Structure formats: C-alpha cells, structure tokens
C-alpha cells in the first residue's frame, strides 16, 4: 500500500515550503511536478494567466470546480481581497483530504470553503446553504464533460450576474468542445481564448475567459 500522488505532493509541500506562505506552497508543488512527477495542477504557465484575471477582476466571491490538491485554490485565494471568499468543490474524497491539509498549511483556511461532492449536486444548494448571491468568478477545472452542464446549471440557479467571469482550464487538452462551442456562440457570453500549454509540458492547451452578459435572450430563466 504505497502512497498516492496527492500524498506525495503534500509531503513535498511540507518538506519544501514555509507554513503560512502561499507563494512557497505554489512553488513547491510546481517544482515537484516539473522535476519529480507530473500532476494535473493548472501549473505555473497557465497560473500566471489565472493570476492576471484575478488581479484585474478583484472578485469577492469565487467558485472553483475541481480542487484536486488545492494548487489553484491556494494560488487564487492568495490574490483575493481580505473580505473575499472562495468555495471549492472536489468529488474525490482522498484528494479533498490532501487539499484541506495544503490549504491549512498555506494558512488560507479562513478564505476557503472546501466541499466534498459532485458539482451537479452542490451547485443548486450553494445559495441556500452558503448564503451566496452570485459568483464574480468561476474557475472550471473538473470533469471536462461537466463544464457545459454546470455552466447551464449556474445560469438556471441565478448564480451568475452580468460581468461574472467563467475561466475554464483545459479547453484544448483534454478539451471541452461542447463548452467552447456554447460560450463562443451564445449571446450570453463574450468569450476569449488564452493560448498556453498543458501544465509542465509542451502540449498545446489554454484557458477560455468568458464574461456572462445576462440572460436577456431568455429573461424568464
Ligand atoms: N466537484 C466535482 N464535480 C464533478 N467532478 C469532479 C469534481 N471534482 C473533481 N472532479 C473529478 C475530476 O477532477 C479532475 C478534473 N481534471 C482533469 O481531469 C484534468 C486532466 C488533465 C490531463 C490528464 C491527462 C492528460 F494526458 C492530459 C491532461 C489536465 C488537467 O489540467 C485537468 O484538470
Ligand atoms: Mg486542469
């Protein structure tokens, strides 16, 4: 019964970063995944694009779909204004347990609410159970075939207000063709593609940045 990849990532964080320093946690994970073993973090190259979007938008409420080991959770939360909150949903209980440890090690547990469960089950409950009005930023990084249904669910639940930003990882690799088609052709979004590479590789990938414009085409939704 050897260790799992998330456990090895946690060990690398505890060995090579400083408690309470989100930047050193992010750097320790990137170093481990660049030189020891690949893992599906958004990574340093796409991470800079995520940083720029967060710093420009200054979101107060953030939803992340797909926590994994909390690399992007820590990277984003570290850049948020003091009163901001980030809710992150993770389906896999093992990686969620590691994510919780990494969030605590980084000293960001006050800003971050980690929920274990499927996005489809939890999105309809967020208003009720967490007093969320709307999200300013949604970072999609979970099952690639859930990006589109969950976006429609966010719209239906009234969790997006005009100006809200959807930032989607992996729109090229592994790819989210139905999601891309929707946000690029729907009158509800102004979408743009940020070309980059799959984390820690030379493979083509990128982030799709989509601004929600409102449901004016179907106001009764
Ligand atoms: N709350 C929730 N609700 C539903 N489902 C949920 C959930 N929380 C988690 N899950 C389950 C899915 O979580 C992981 C999703 N991420 C990826 O699969 C991913 C894969 C690659 C990759 C892999 C192999 C290659 F060869 C090339 C690329 C790269 C990435 O950057 C990825 O993000
Ligand atoms: Mg990803």
Q: Which residue has the tokens 């800003």?
A: 111
Q: Which ligand is nearest to the CA of 99?
A: 1
* CA-based R_g, the chain, Å: 17
DSSP 51-93: HHHHHHH--SEEEEE--TTSHHHHHHHTTS-TT-EEEEEES-H
Q: Which of 49, 50, 66 most suits a substitution to test ligand 1, by most atoms within 8 Å of the C-beta? A: 66
Predicted local confidence at residue 217, as pLDDT: 79
Q: What is the largest CA-CA distance in the chain?
A: 55
Q: In whole angstroms, what separates CA 45 from the centre of its chain?
A: 15
> What is the distance between the alpha carbons of residues 150 and 146, in angstroms, rounded to a whole number?
6
What is the band of 2 on the pLDDT scale with cuts at 50, 70, 90?
confident
Q: What digits encode the pLDDT tens for the residues 73-109?
A: 999 999 999 999 999 999 999 999 999 999 999 999 9
Q: Which residue has the tokens 């009163």?
A: 83
Q: What digits encode the pLDDT tens for the residues 114-163?
A: 999 999 999 999 999 999 999 999 999 999 999 999 999 999 999 999 99
What lines the ligand 1 site, CB under 6 Å? Answer: 40, 65-66, 68, 89-92, 118-119, 141-143, 146, 169-170, 173-174, 198-199
ipTM over 0.90: yes
pTM for this entry: 0.98
Cβ-based neighbours of 57, under 8 Å, separated by 6 or more: 136, 137, 165
What are residue 200's phi and psi, to 5 degrees?
Answer: 60, 20
Look at strands 204-212 and 189-197 and give their pairing: antiparallel
**Residue 62 near residue 135, CB atoms below 8 Å:** yes
DSSP 6-44: HHHHHHHHHHHS-TT-HHHHHHHHHHHHHHT----S-HH
**Residue 72 near residue 42, CB atoms below 8 Å:** yes
């Amino acid at each position: 019964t050897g260790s799992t990849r998330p456990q090895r990532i946690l060990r690398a964080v505890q060995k090579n970063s400083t408690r309470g320093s989100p930047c050193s946690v992010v750097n320790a994970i990137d170093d481990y995944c660049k030189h020891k073993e690949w893992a599906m973090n958004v990574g340093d190259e796409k991470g800079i694009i995520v940083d720029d979007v967060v710093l420009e938008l200054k979101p107060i409420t953030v939803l992340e779909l797909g926590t994994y080991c909390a690399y992007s959770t820590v990277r984003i939360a570290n850049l948020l204004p003091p009163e901001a909150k980030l809710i992150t949903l993770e389906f896999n209980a093992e990686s969620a347990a590691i994510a919780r440890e990494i969030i605590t090690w980084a000293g960001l547990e006050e800003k971050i609410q980690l929920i274990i469960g499927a996005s489809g089950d939890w999105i309809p409950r967020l208003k009720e159970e967490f007093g969320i009005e709307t999200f300013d930023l949604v970072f999609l990084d979970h099952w690639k075939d859930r990006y589109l249904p969950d976006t429609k669910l966010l719209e239906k639940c009234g969790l997006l207000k005009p100006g809200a930003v959807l930032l989607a990882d992996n729109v090229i690799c592994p790819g989210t063709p139905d999601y891309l088609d929707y946000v690029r052709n729907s009158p509800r979004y102004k979408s743009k593609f940020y070309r980059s590479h799959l984390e820690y590789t030379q493979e083509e990938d990128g982030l799709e940045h989509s601004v929600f414009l409102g449901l004016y085409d179907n106001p009764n939704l």
